[in-house]
Amino acid sequence: MKRKNLLLTLILTSMLAVIAGCASSPNKEGTGEYIDDTVITTKVKVAIMEDPALKSSEINVETFKGVVQLSGFVVSQDAINKAVETARGIKGVTSVINDMQLK
């Protein structure tokens, strides 16, 4: 009986460790949030790539908990404004941080 209780305790402890490892914190995304952010990043990159007014090679996109950060060196203020507008239009984006600079 003791062996069964010990085994059950080990299994429960392992499960709790796995669950805690997948949980999010203010500085770390949970597994689901990471997947959501990866999807958002991909959608923003595709939208930028499909816009003929923007050069996707100039704009870097990162997402953390729905907040999209755009960085890079672009040729005009219009390109910066268009990229920010494009990112804001993607479902799941909660806000956009513009760290792009003019060349």
pTM value is 0.71
CA distances in angstroms from 26 to 12, 29, 41, 65, listed in the order given: 26, 8, 19, 9
With 0-12 / 13-18 / 19 or more C-beta atoms within 10 angstroms meaning exposed / middle / buried, residue 55 is: middle
Which range, of 3-12, 38-47, 75-84, averages the lowest pLDDT?
A: 3-12
Q: Can you tell me the mean pLDDT for 17-46? A: 72
Give the separation between CA 45 and CA 74, rounded to whole angstroms. 15
Give the separation between CA 89 and CA 80, rounded to whole angstroms. 14
**Res 81 pLDDT > 70:** yes
CATH topology of domain 26-102: Histidine-containing Protein; Chain: A; (3.30.1340)
Band of residue 30 on the pLDDT scale cut at 50, 70, 90:
low
Residues 6+ positions from 27 with CB-CB distance below 8 Å: none
**Res 101 pLDDT > 80:** yes
Q: What percent of the chain has pLDDT over 70?
A: 67
**Res 22 pLDDT > 70:** no
Whether 50 and 83 have beta carbons less than 8 Å apart is answered as: no
Residues facing residue 79 across a β-bridge:
none
Q: Is 7 helix (H, G, I), strand (E, B) or coil?
A: helix
